[in-house]
């Protein structure tokens, strides 16, 4: 065996790749292709499905869920912007002002991950409930109108998703900011750049790879999320994820659910592609 391997050294990397690569092909690529074929089938779970190349399912699925598609895209963009606005100053502080507390601060960012995502979202349900301890207390003091509510509003859903993906934004931003050579910023200020100019023309452009990774890591899961809309929202906040989940697991309408999943996936890939182009153009002008 080892003699054979020595004679065919070029095969070693393929032997290393084979098990994991096969796993990804069989349980990632094949399912996506199966899903695409399910979208083009007609029938029901009871009577069985037949492949009819029903491409009309795509415009139909879009037309029936256009509100949720647009809402998901919009929520995803708002969440990404909010997470960057909150996460950037935080990552900046940890990277440049953290000193010997750096690793503790980073640990604090990661720690919330170690409670279940579901439990954290349910905790927000507690906190934001109409007579929960936040609103209930404020209402008790008469500082808020009795009818004021947060739960079952877009605010609750958007802040819930932002909360969930904030650590995903802080970590890549921190990594990018940490790498920046402080002497470059010093050079800028020595050359009479104001602190704002030094930030806008040195620090910010150098941290763009982090901004890129951070926005993808929040945008992609945010657009597909359905837990926050389900636990913190009402019927007016349902997202595309809720529709897909309902069609698959409750209504068993596999073709339309598969079509919507494909639309979501392709939509995200196109957005990512556009974003890469825009960011690249940005880098050239800076």
Partner 1 sequence: MAAVARSLPITPEAPPPERALPLGVRVRRAILPVFTGLVVAYLFLPIAVMIAFGFNDPEGRFNYAWQGFTLEHWQNIFNRFPALNEAIKVSLMVATISTLVATTLGTLIGLALTRYEFRGRGPLNVLIFLPIATPEIVLGASLLAMFASLGVARGIGTILIAHIMFNISFVVITVRARLAGYNRTLEEAAMDLGADELTTFRKVTFPLIFPGIMAAALLAFALSIDDFVITQFTAGRTSTFPLWVYGASRIGIPPQVNVMGSLIFGIALIGIVGWILLVRRSLGTGSARVDA
Judged by CB under 8 A, the chain residues 138 through 197 that form the site for partner 1 are: 163, 166-167, 182-183, 185-186, 188-189, 195
Q: How many residues are listed for the chain in this entry? A: 286
Cα separation, 138 vs 105, whole angstroms: 31
Cβ atoms within 10 Å, residue 227: 18
- Assess 83 for contact with partner 1 (CB under 8 A): no
Cα separation, 260 vs 80, whole angstroms: 22
Q: Which is nearer to partner 1, 226 or 284 (CB)?
A: 226
Cα separation, 127 vs 105, whole angstroms: 25
Helix, strand and coil percent figures for the chain, each rounded to 5: 80, 5, 15
Query: Residue 164 Cβ, how far from partner 1 at the closest point, in Å?
Result: 10
Select the residue interacting with partner 1 from 52, 67, 93, 282 (CB under 8 A): 93
DSSP secondary structure letters along 74-99: HHHHHHHHHHHHHHHHHHHIIIII-G
Number of residues that bind partner 1 (CB under 8 A): 93
Count CA atoms closer than 13 A to 31's CA, side-chain side. 7
Q: Residues near 79 by Cβ (< 8 Å), separated by ≥ 6?
A: 158, 161, 162, 165, 218, 219, 222
Query: Residue 223 Cβ, how far from partner 1 at the closest point, in Å?
Result: 6
Touching partner 1, residues 198-237 (CB under 8 A): 198-199, 202-203, 216, 220-221, 223-224, 226-227, 231
Q: Which is nearer to partner 1, 183 or 284 (CB)?
A: 183
Select the residue interacting with partner 1 from 70, 118, 138, 286 (CB under 8 A): 118
Select the residue interacting with partner 1 from 54, 81, 102, 120 (CB under 8 A): 120
Q: Which is nearer to partner 1, 153 or 245 (CB)?
A: 245
Is residue 169 a contact partner of residue 218, using CB atoms and an 8 Å limit? yes
- Assess 132 for contact with partner 1 (CB under 8 A): yes
Select the residue interacting with partner 1 from 43, 64, 70, 111 (CB under 8 A): 111
Candidates 16-24, 58-66, 139-147, 277-285: pick the segment binding partner 1 (CB under 8 A): 16-24
Query: Residue 202 Cβ, how far from partner 1 at the closest point, in Å?
Result: 8
Touching partner 1, residues 37-56 (CB under 8 A): 38, 49
Select the residue interacting with partner 1 from 77, 248, 253, 275 (CB under 8 A): 248
Q: Which is nearer to partner 1, 206 or 284 (CB)?
A: 206
- Assess 90 for contact with partner 1 (CB under 8 A): yes
Cα separation, 132 vs 135, whole angstroms: 6
Torsion over CA: 182, 185, 190, 191 (sign): positive
């Amino acid at each position: 065996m080892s003699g054979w391997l020595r004679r065919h050294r070029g095969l070693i990397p393929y032997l290393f790749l084979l098990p994991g690569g096969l796993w990804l092909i069989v349980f990632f690529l094949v399912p996506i292709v199966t899903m695409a074929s399910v979208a083009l089938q007609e029938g029901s779970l009871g009577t069985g499905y037949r492949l009819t190349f029903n491409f009309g399912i795509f415009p139909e699925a879009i037309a029936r869920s256009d509100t949720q598609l647009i809402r998901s895209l919009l929520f995803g963009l708002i969440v990404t912007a909010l997470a960057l606005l909150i996460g950037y100053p935080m990552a900046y502080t940890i990277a440049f002002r953290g000193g010997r507390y750096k690793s503790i601060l980073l640990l604090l960012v990661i720690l919330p991950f170690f409670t279940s995502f579901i439990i954290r979202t349910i905790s927000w349900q507690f906190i934001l409930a109409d007579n929960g301890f936040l609103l209930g207390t404020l209402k008790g003091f008469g500082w808020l109108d009795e009818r004021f509510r947060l739960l079952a509003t877009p605010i609750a859903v958007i802040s819930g998703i932002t909360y969930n993906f904030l650590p995903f934004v802080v970590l890549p931003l921190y990594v990018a900011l940490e790498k920046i050579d402080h002497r470059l910023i010093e050079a800028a200020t020595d050359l009479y750049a104001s602190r704002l100019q030094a930030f806008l023309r040195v620090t910010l452009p150098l941290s763009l790879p982090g901004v890129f990774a951070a926005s993808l890591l929040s945008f992609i899961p945010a657009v597909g999320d359905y837990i926050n809309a389900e636990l913190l929202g009402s019927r007016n906040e349902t997202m595309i994820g809720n529709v897909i989940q309902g069609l698959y697991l409750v209504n068993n309408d596999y073709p339309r659910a598969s079509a919507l999943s494909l639309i979501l996936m392709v939509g995200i890939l196109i957005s990512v592609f556009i974003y890469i182009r825009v960011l690249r153009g940005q880098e050239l002008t800076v």
